[in-house]
Amino acid sequence: MSGAYRHFPILMVTIPFFGAALLPFLAYLRRKAVPWASAFFLAISGGLGTFLVGKIPPGGHLSYPLGGWEPPYGIELRVDFSGYFLMMAVAGISLAAVIYSRRYIEKEVEGGRITAYYVLFLLMSASMMGFVITGDVFNLFVMMEILSISSYALVAVTGNRNAVRAAFKYLLMGAPSSIMVLLGVGLLYSVTGTLNMADLAARVGDTGYREVLIASYAILVLAFMVKAAVFPLHLWLPDAHSIAPSPISAMLSGLVVAVSAFAVARITFSVFTVHAWGLVGTTLEALAVAGAAAVLFGGIMAIYQKDFKMMIAYSTISHMGYVVLGITALNPEGITGAVYHILDHGIAKACLFMCAGNFIYRKGFRKIEQLKGAWREMPWTCFAFSLAAWSIIGLPPSAGFISKWYLVYGSVRAGKVPYAVVLLVGSILAAVYCFRVVYYMFFQPAKEGDWGERLSEAPASMSVPTWALSLATLFFGVFSYLFLDSLLKAAAQLL
Amino acid sequence: MKRLVSLLFIGALALLLLYVVSKMPPMGEPTNPTMTHVVPRYLEKSEGEAHARNVVTGVIINYRGFDTLGEVTVIYCALAAVLAVLGREKRGRIRDYVELSGIPSSVIVRTMVALVVPFIVLFSLYVILHGEMSPGGGFQGGAVIGASMIIFTTVFGLHLSSVKVPLKVRAALEGSAVITFFLVGIAGILGGGNFLAYAWPRVSQSLQPALVTWLTVLVEVGIGLGGAMVFVSILFAMVREEGADEPLA
């Protein structure tokens, strides 16, 4: 393989790292330039990604041995289509969120911490890109560490008491799960002598250490379940995601938990592979039950929330259940549904949190009741919210419909009709909690003094990313055929 | 009751894990998978193909260099996390935080520290530069510099140490580990290889061992400086925070 593009995946990951390392000095020279520089580095990263369109062989992958050391001796990046797809999702949503951040963060975060905010933001997005394309389990752990540490800190960045408490709760659940990932990787290494995923896949089948493999798989899945906030390990999520500054809520809810769920897929399909499923079947079934419970629990809890951001956060728990159910269907349709759901849920959820951020920025409103009659003052935000909610519910022609279709189809094909029913019920729950807000926004009279008649939209640097994301939910619904074929092939190749 | 349940749960989990440990390959056997698959190549060939005089350094910096890039990013990330929670000291306001150490130190302590600190720093440079061929390296050396700054700050107070290591210097060098690593990686691409290739294919065979050695030293120095500055900045942020609750004299 030749051509400069093969270097692009690693550059996409490391350029934001490099940028993050430059920011403190840039802040010393010119503090105002920091947000622009951050957006610049993420834009380069995403721009390099667009050059890779069509370069990933369908059903195959782009292997990049770092330092030229062939795997398993060195670290390998293994960019298959689903990895690339998610990497671009991360790049796109991060870019929108970083542009959104500039005005919002000025208001919520005290000056001395703004640089740290952008440093952490860059590290968080880049580590997610590395996380989804790495072909090495220890490298997966390293990327997850960067991702986790930056997420904990970003929840606490506003510095108010509740935020610090929520971040600490997140840390208390996140840190043990990081150690569990390390333990699981260590166990795998002790019985195979390798860390490369493809090499592991070849070696787990015929190693004699059944118990160690089962334990390692269970530990890894449990650890990533904490990170992905799969019920009943979701306890940290509602507080952390609702109290964090809105662009960070968007990143955490839209991407961070979702790539952790994707890690479960990586471990299941790229490391343990179909040959080892005999060993880990029980864990997979337990995971599926947890996923189904998450769909229902998250949906029901979301209906009962009074706080707007809290409702969106519970909706995330519900949707992580969807992703898990797609993975545990163990067929190409289910996996495609899961990957596509990570994308469209990420876009729609980021958009919802940005809408919430717009309301908070202009009015400081956090309660759902306070949104009654909001459309008079902020019609654009309200419309963007409705579009994103459309996708969250999963109605055609939005992207949410496509992914839910595949998820249900995958469950039915796997002979797991009860799960398919759960998925549909989850959509009804989503409709209940989303339409309530839409109804309040458009069809309820405003409470005296809450909303006036004058238009007061959020500034353009916040509205434009919000709208871009809400339109993206439509785009990925209408033009889903561009991606689905390659995704199905990539998924089939995993099995 | 709650305690009893958690105790039972932890006990059961521990027993389960102990059972798994009993099924693991016995410790230190030469026939273990860990000993027979990847490791022999590192031990036998790293001198020839990676030009590493120290196998551990060869694996950390060269074979698995990207993991180390990730680890230095983790350290840098930890600093950013501390600054995000505690905030950095404001420029020019450091004078307000004078003498927060609270421990009045005697002439003997002051003299001793003033005498010893330069030697500690010298020793750390030795550790950093020798990482390429002996135990040690950037991480350890950087930690030693950080420790020397902690001693200095405890005895002489924050004001003096922030004069010695001003914000400008720290802001420039905090990321130096990530920056050097990244630039060495890019140099690998420009040299005709992959990201983080140390023996550039475009350079003649005879020069490659020296090239690898110097690039390794460069990376170690970057890690050492960056690590040291990260320690110092974290220290300053924490000392300042501690003082912020007390009335300033």
pLDDT > 60? residue A2: no
- What is residue A446's predicted lDDT score, i.e. its pLDDT? 80
Chain B residues closer than 8 Å to A18 by CB: 178-179, 182
- The domain locations on chain B are 62-244
Question: Which residues from chain B sit within 8 angstroms of residue A142, using beta carbons?
Answer: 67, 70-71, 74
Residue B89's pLDDT band (cuts 50, 70, 90): low
What is the mean pLDDT of the segment spanning B4-9?
A: 94
Is B6 part of the contact surface with chain A (CB cutoff 8 Å)? no
The pLDDT tens digits of the residues spanning B7-32 come to 999 999 999 999 998 888 888 888 88
B82 CB neighbours in chain A (<8 A) are 153
Mean pLDDT along residues B69-97: 78
pLDDT (average), residues A297-319: 93
Average pLDDT over residues A164-173: 92
Residues in chain B: 249
Q: In this predicted structure, what is the pLDDT of residue A22? A: 94
Task: Tell which wins on pLDDT, B99 or A292.
Answer: A292
pLDDT at B135 over 60: yes
Contact B178 A21 (CB under 8 A): yes
- Per-residue pLDDT at B184 exceeds 90: yes
Higher-pLDDT residue of A154, B160: A154
A contacts of B194 (beta carbons < 8 Å): 7, 10, 64-68
Asked whether the beta carbons of residue A66 and residue B66 sit closer than 8 angstroms, the reply is yes
More confidently predicted of B184 and A444:
B184
Candidates B184, B178, B173, B133; CA nearest to B149 is: B173
Chain A interface, best mutation among B24, B178, B195, by max A CB count within 10 A = B195
Q: Report CB contact under 8 Å: B174, A130.
A: no
User: Chain A residue with minimal CA distance to B34?
Assistant: A193
pLDDT-wise least confident of A185-199, A432-446, B87-101, B228-242: B87-101
- Asked if A20 lies within 8 A of B178 by C-beta distance, the reply is yes
Residue of chain B whose alpha carbon sits nearest to that of A214: B20
B41 touches chain A (CB under 8 A): yes
Q: pLDDT tens across B188-225, in order? A: 999 888 998 888 888 888 888 899 989 999 999 999 99
- Minimal CA separation from A222 to chain B, in Å: 13
Tell me if A18 and B189 make a contact (CB, 8 A cut-off): no
The pLDDT assigned to B92 comes to: 46
ipTM of the complex: 0.93
For residue A28, which residues of chain B lie inside 8 Å, CB to CB?
Answer: 167-168, 171-172
C-alpha to C-alpha distance for A250 and A385, rounded to whole angstroms: 13
Beta-bridged to residue A125, according to DSSP, are: none
Which residues, in sequence order, are CB contacts of A202 under 8 Å at separation 6+? none
Lowest mean pLDDT among A82-86, A456-460, B112-116, B228-232: A456-460
Residue in B closest to A143 by C-alpha: B70
pLDDT value at A411 more than 70: yes
Q: Could you tell me which chain B residue has the CA closest to the CA of A109?
A: B84
pLDDT for A99-118, tens place per residue?
999 999 888 888 778 999 99
Chain A partners within 8 Å of B78 (Cβ): 149
Q: Are residues B182 and A17, on separate chains, in Cβ contact within 8 Å?
A: yes
**Chain A CB contacts of B69 below 8 Å:** 14, 17
Query: What is the pLDDT of chain A when averaged over all its residues?
Result: 90
Q: Which residues of A touch B19 (CB under 8 A)?
A: 211
For residue B118, which amino acid is it? Answer: P
Residue A134 dihedral angles phi and psi, to the nearest 5°: -70, 150
Smallest Cβ distance to B76: which of A11, A21, A187? Answer: A21
Contact B85 A164 (CB under 8 A): yes
Residue-wise pLDDT tens digits, A259-295: 999 999 999 888 887 777 777 788 888 999 999 999 9
Q: In whole numbers, what is the pLDDT of chain B averaged over residues?
A: 84
Q: What is the pLDDT of residue B90?
A: 58
Q: List the single residue in A68, A115, A130 with the smallest CB-CB distance to B197.
A: A68
Task: Using alpha carbons, list the distances in angstroms from residue A53 to A5, A57, A61, A66, B36.
Answer: 10, 10, 13, 22, 40
pLDDT score of B240: 67
User: What DSSP state is assigned to residue A350?
Assistant: H
| Distance from the A355 Cα atom to the nearest Cα atom in chain B, whole angstroms | 25
B87, A113: Cβ pair inside 8 Å? yes
Burial A272-298, CB ≥16 within 10 A → b, else e: bbeebbebbeebbeebbebbbebbbbb
Q: What is the domain range of residue A257?
A: 4-494
Question: Could A17 and B80 be called an inter-chain contact, meaning their C-beta atoms sit closer than 8 Å?
Answer: no
Q: How far apart are CA B83 and CA A105, in angstroms?
A: 16
Judge whether residue B117 has pLDDT over 70: yes
Least confident of A275-284, A337-346, A454-463: A275-284
Structure confidence at residue B87 as a pLDDT band (50, 70, 90)? confident
* pLDDT at position A5 over 60: yes
Q: Which of residues 89-108 of B touch A (CB under 8 A)?
A: 89-90
**Residue of A22, A38, A66 best to disrupt the B interface, most CBs of B under 10 A:** A66
The answer to whether residue B103 scores a pLDDT higher than 70 is no
Taking CA–CA distances from A19, the nearest residue in chain B reads B179
Predicted pLDDT at B104:
64
Question: A6 to chain B: nearest residue by CA?
Answer: B194
Q: How confident is the model at residue A159 (pLDDT cuts 50, 70, 90)?
A: confident
Binary contact (B87, A10; C-beta < 8 A): no
Chain A residue with Cα closest to B212: A67
Name which residue leads in pLDDT, A58 or A310: A310
Taking CA atoms, what residue in A is nearest to B172?
A25
Inter-chain CB proximity A152 and B25 less than 8 Å? no
Give the pTM.
0.93
Q: Does B40 touch chain A (CB under 8 A)?
A: no
**Residue B37: its chain A contacts at CB < 8 A?**
72, 192-194, 203
Cβ distance of B182 and A18 shorter than 8 Å: yes
Contact status, residue A351 vs residue A249, Cβ threshold 8 Å: no
Between these two residues, B185 and A364, which has the higher pLDDT value? B185
Assess B126–A contact: CB distance below 8 Å, yes or no. no
Per-window interface: B 230-249 vs A, CB < 8 A: none
Interface of B with A in 196-235 (CB under 8 A): 196-198
Q: Which residue of B has its CA nearest to A156?
A: B85
pLDDT value of position B36: 85
Burial of A478 (0-12, 13-18, 19+ CB in 10 A): middle
Q: Tell me the angle at which helices A114-133 and B65-86 cross, rounded to the nearest 10 degrees.
A: 150
- pLDDT for A107 equals 86
Number of domains in chain A: 1
Torsion angle of alpha carbons B48, B49, B51, B57, nearest 10°?
Answer: -110
